[in-house]
Amino acid sequence: MPIAPVNRFESEQLGSNEIGPTEIELYYETHGDPADPALLLVNGYSSQILGWRAGFREQLAERGRFVISFDNRDVGLSTHLDGVEVDAAAVTKAALAGEPVPPVPYTLSDFGDDGMGLLDHLGVGAAHIAGVSMGGMIVQQMAIDHPGRVLSMTSIMSTTGERGYFEAAPEALEALTAPPPVDRDEFIASGVASSKIWSSRRHYDPDAMAGFLAAAFDRMFYPEGLPRQMAAVRGSAPRAEALGRLGVPTLVIHGRDDTLILPNGGERTAELVPGAHLLLLGDMGHDLPEPLWPILFDAIISHTAHAETS
């Protein structure tokens, strides 16, 4: 299936952005027929567009969705905010203590506004939105900030930002926050070892993961953006109250094997959003293993189709 070439759009980001107006360019790809209902896929922390495997996007398109995916700011081929400093550790410490957080370069709302700007660029008035991990947090914030433009929301392996529902196993958190090696071979080896900690125990494939990490490193290795993305996650306010008022059709998917965001994060999200549906998968961790794709496709397509007719 054809995809778009390197595409970018510029969007002036204001609001909570502490660094002032900045021209943000997003790399994006599309799959499917633009006449079909749009489905915007949003990536997680540190993840490039490759995180949504091409086959995953293509099969969603084959089921009648116009699939839009992109690199978030500060990762991949989208805008890098070179030189903008933030103390992510201090932001995280304050957030965990329930104290005011230091200023951050941008927030989850800014990520969400980027996605809305991309829809504007493509001439899409309203879309289904789905996000994984940090991407789940972003789509939650998008639904809160722009409910009239969201046909449905699917929040995958994510959480609400509340203390007590944003927890990881200690070894998973340590692996996630360790500085990535700059040597290519070491980066791959370290990533294979780390991802095994939080991935599906039944379906984890180290060879496939090594290939994915090699492709990601070769496409764009940019560790400087990671502290800013982490600061955006930890520096954004919890969404519990706003999610409790949300009127957007919502599906929450989480894996029982997830050690990076424990399943209670997904359970809490579904508990808060009125009428939300919860799908807990026993063989899924903090990943989207290919053997589970048929289940995920059925859930997402059914959810979005129901939202369009309700």
Closest Cα to residue 63, out of 298, 280, 308? 298
Helix runs in the chain, H state only: 54-62, 88-96, 108-122, 134-145, 170-177, 184-198, 206-219, 225-235, 240-244, 263-272, 293-309
Output the pLDDT for position 7. 55
Output the pLDDT for position 310. 74
Residue pair 268/162 in contact (Cβ under 8 Å)? The answer is yes
CATH of 10-180+224-309 given 3.30.365.10, 3.40.50.1100, 3.20.20.150, 3.40.50.1820: 3.40.50.1820
The DSSP 8-state label assigned to residue 85 in this structure reads -
Residue pair 139/106 in contact (Cβ under 8 Å)? The answer is no
Q: What is the mean pLDDT of residues 163-192?
A: 95
Output the pLDDT for position 12. 43
CA 97 to chain centre: 25
d(CA 124, CA 275): 26
pTM: 0.94
Here the tokens at position 75 are 């990762």
Structure confidence by residue, pLDDT tens digits, 247-278: 999 999 999 999 999 999 999 999 999 999 99
Q: What is the mean pLDDT of residues 82-95?
A: 95
Here the tokens at position 63 are 């089921």
User: What does the domain layout of the chain look like in residue ranges?
Assistant: 10-180+224-309
- The per-residue DSSP string of 110-143 comes to HHHHHHHHHHHHHT-SSEEEEEETHHHHHHHHHH
The vertex-307 CA angle with 306 and 310, nearest 5°, equals: 80
Structure confidence by residue, pLDDT tens digits, 114-152: 999 999 999 999 999 999 999 999 999 999 999 999 999
Buried b (16+ CB within 10 A) or exposed e, 270-286: bbbbeebbbbebeebbb
